[in-house]
Structure 1
């Protein structure tokens, strides 16, 4: 059987959900959706284990990983908040304890998702949102009990950038009657909302935490300002290259600080270059040395026993198209979505949350505050004048929160790029605020 014929046969069954044992504990549903001819997106739902008569009584949370090209079904599930960790032990802090969690390998080409032709990779955020809308239409057809469940979109890193456009689209389409969804909120975690603001914040942040000296700060800032200059000229793909160069300068001046947790260091070698730095945006966005001794390598796990358990086609190799996903979005990578966040605040009734770990570098909190303070919306004055409240959990200060109207910001302590993994107690605060549970 030729590869073309096999892919055509796979497409015929791509919209059918599978209900079965899956992999790991609890009730699961999973399957492919053909979001465009030749473009197949994989989703994996874990029904909540909360003590309810039907799982649809609890909210549905979609988790979108970053990169772009990072797998929600892999990284988000096994490394951050799914029911099993990389030792395949039960995770006490899994979000599945309280919510239905929907992991999506997005954009197409990520994780188990795949395209039959390179022309089908997405090239901007609007295309990504349209594919996710198609997926959710099919999801609700397969599992109609969730149409009335409050639906929340959580995105980490580039996943947050994707989340805001998708939230706006599904809200608009639900109001037009084109999809029945109880979309209720969107949350951006350490999210790539205004890339230039993040890049410009790196040098002063590293200096303030004593990771570079005066000379190092000046060299990093010089390269960061050049990145902005290129971006302002409309040379967007080159700006993505200069972003990678700025990170390379940081590696050199800090002797390998981990972009995803400044308390750790990245392994360095002669192979470090722009290409490997870009790939790390896809496949190292959650990993650091504290997690290097797990029983399973994620690639081995996803292409081995998990793939077999889920019945993934043999021709699909988990993560094999992730580098292409990033490359096809290189023009869009550095573009901000501040205007979409403003639209969500001004034209919808959705709750909009931002949360950030205080030891992340790539999307550090100072950079986040720059774009947050730029927001123009009808209740911005309420947010600016609101008190910042301390988050206490078991007499431990886990961070701070500040709310004005529909918008809430959470500063989470002792957390890097992946807040739910690094500080589960702090994460419960923003989950409760958003959902009520």
Structure 2
């Protein structure tokens, strides 16, 4: 074990020279298991504190699976610099030490020796994450005991559930010196069938489809549900993609990440599955309108950033994203509500669910369905708890409801990526969980 930890430490430190931009940072690789190498990028808080460890450590997980936290989460959502390399005034680094992780392996700058080392289940992803954090703490011992919070967007929220379970087990066993206090699931892919079945009703209520369009969408969604219930998970994922295709046809290309906007129609020879996969990986509102922005991010990460962070020559940022998604295709439609119940019933970890109300792909109605079915000791108390308004900057930013260690935040004027779409509303769930924000 000692030899392994020393090896992890050496791998983590191998590329520590240099940095990108002026913000204090740390980065490196951890070999989480044979053939699998995971990359992290830490930005130390700029808060006016005596020691940066006076503020919590926040992990940010991107969705997909296959979306890069060090690229998308960092430059497009909440890192210290935006895509124009200008300082972001609402960056989370102002209040927290933010750790961006490219996971699962094969995502972003993380890489595998060959594709047989890619993960196939959410639990495998979680076990890799625990090993990543072991390597991180081995190198950055000052963070041992510092409150740790895991925030995951979209598929990242799904991954965060099993990560919370495995981190808690490791803490209880004394094999990691972390201090996990909470996990947050933002517009998360928690119960995929629930989400898919509520697209039609939401679009109909919003006036974005007529009755005929609603019926077509629901027919596709019910077929995805049937396949899932029969254990045909691979086929259910394909049918989920077909349901998205029906939504695009009937709404003339509504933006799945913000129902108030549409993506421009354009010829596309890709299959429904390929289009749906790209949307999940990029995890980016107005995807078609910002195609150049995505290209610029690819160029930025594979040129200036890659050089500054001394990434190995053979690693290309984002090159395995499709392989990562495809390898998890059988696991894609499986829910993680059992894991949420485990966290609520067996730990005191805060479990936060927040959702932008303009999102479609992980829509709020679909989230409420699985929340109301949760079996945990506080279920009745949560059901009867008041739903309170969120006021920030003299504006009604949404609502929240909480009981015990579970919270639900409805965030207004926000689609799939709440921290980017409504930074003011985001402060409410950050403060609730961490007391900062």
Shared fold by TM > 0.5?
A: yes
* Structure-to-structure mapping, 1:9-408, within 5 angstroms: 14-16=11-13, 18-19=15-16, 21-268=18-265, 269-288=267-286, 291=290, 297-408=296-407
Contact kept? 2:65, 2:281, Cα under 8 Å: no
TM-score calculated relative to the size of structure 2:
0.95
Report the more deviating stretch, 51-60 or 40-49.
51-60
Contact kept? 1:20, 1:29, Cα under 8 Å: no
* Structure 1 counterpart SS, 2:389: strand
Shift of 1:282: 3.9
In structure 1, the gaps of 5 or more residues are: 1-9
Change in Cα spacing, 1:255 to 1:118, as seen in structure 2 (3 Å) is same
> Residue deviations 1:38-80, cap 9 Å, x none?
1110000000000112211100000010000000000000000
Shift of 1:24: 2.0
Contact kept? 2:244, 2:276, Cα under 8 Å: no
Shift of 1:176: 1.2
Shift of 1:273: 2.3
* Structure 1 counterpart SS, 2:373: coil
Partner of 2:4 in structure 1? none
Change in Cα spacing, 1:67 to 1:327, as seen in structure 2 (3 Å) is same
> Residue deviations 1:106-160, cap 9 Å, x none?
0000000011111100000010000000000010010011111100000000000
In structure 2, the gaps of 5 or more residues are: 1-6
Matched pairs, number: 428
C-alpha distance in 2, partners of 1:364/1:17? Answer: 42
Change in Cα spacing, 1:250 to 1:393, as seen in structure 2 (3 Å) is same
Contact kept? 1:350, 1:406, Cα under 8 Å: yes
> Residue deviations 1:241-297, cap 9 Å, x none?
000000011011000001111111123323242233233234431241675675971
Contact kept? 1:110, 1:321, Cα under 8 Å: yes
C-alpha distance in 1, partners of 2:259/2:285? Answer: 13
Contact kept? 2:393, 2:424, Cα under 8 Å: no
